[in-house]
Amino acid sequence: MTQDELKRLVAEAALERVSPLLSPGCVIGVGTGSTTNHFIDLLAGVKARIGAAVSSSDASSQRLAGHGIEVIDLNEADAMVAYVDGADEVALDNALIKGGGGAHTREKIVAAAAGHFICIVDQSKLVDTLGAFPLPVEVIAMARSSVARRLRELGGDPRQRPGFTTDNGNDILDVHGLVVDDPATWEALINNIPGVVDNGIFAANRPQTVLVGTASGVTLRE
């Protein structure tokens, strides 16, 4: 199977999992990326059983709206049945690196608000230790250099993502060379640097459920 077929497979498994929770008035949280795009496209088939979606990016909002699914602001949503999103790396303890699409700040907010994060990945995303994927750090533009200096002191090699501005109007530093052996500590340490909006480690807000698309089917990690 191709990687894209595995992404579709795991998106189908996520829909199967959330299906019993859907009702015409319900709200579902939706992430960003090519795996989530499959999930959004599948949601279109059950849109009569969804009240609205809360989206983590402008790109996903547009895709949802294109399918006729109403997108509401998080501030208008009382509760979500679940939040479904992909990841760039998944460690053995289900801690993640996200933000390959630069949307991790909103993704973390919506995931936390939903209370149940279902992470959908193909098998290529599984790692023993986080950090081979450069860690995305969203920064306020005026603090880019000072944050980069601090990240270098911590052993990383931060590189500004060229030609990219987040939906929040900020810059992204992709930090190469970090060995994220203690994700919760690294997440807090980096977020404590003045000027950092949020980094792509999901440890404090790791998913409750991880579905993995493999050549022999979908496996579940909880």
Catalytic positions: 107
Q: Which of 85, 138, 174, 198 binds ligand 5RP (CB under 6 A)?
A: 85
- Closer to ligand 5RP by Cβ: residue 56 or 150: 56
Four-CA torsion 38, 61, 136, 5, nearest 10 degrees = 10
- Closer to ligand 5RP by Cβ: residue 100 or 195: 100
Restricting to residues 14-43, name those near ligand 5RP by CB under 6 A.
Answer: 31-36
- Closer to ligand 5RP by Cβ: residue 157 or 167: 167
Whole-angstrom distance, CA of residue 31 vs CA of residue 46: 18
One-letter amino acid for residue 196 of the chain = V
Whole-angstrom distance, CA of residue 158 vs CA of residue 144: 10
Q: Which of 8, 50, 90, 101 binds ligand 5RP (CB under 6 A)?
A: 101
- Closer to ligand 5RP by Cβ: residue 41 or 51: 41
Residues 6+ apart with CB under 8 A from 148: 158, 160, 173
**What is the nearest approach in angstroms of ligand 5RP to the Cβ of residue 60?**
9
Residue range at the interface with ligand 5RP (CB under 6 A); choices 21-29, 92-100, 162-170, 212-220: 92-100
Q: Which is nearest to 18 in space by CA: 214, 203, 10, 75?
A: 10
Q: Which of 18, 82, 87, 151 binds ligand 5RP (CB under 6 A)?
A: 87
Restricting to residues 148-187, name those near ligand 5RP by CB under 6 A.
Answer: none
Q: Is 130 left (phi over 0), alpha (psi -120 to 50) or beta?
A: beta
Q: Residue 77: count other Cβ atoms within 10 Å of its Cβ.
A: 18
Q: Which chain residues interact with ligand 5RP by CB under 6 A?
A: 31-36, 85-88, 98-104, 107
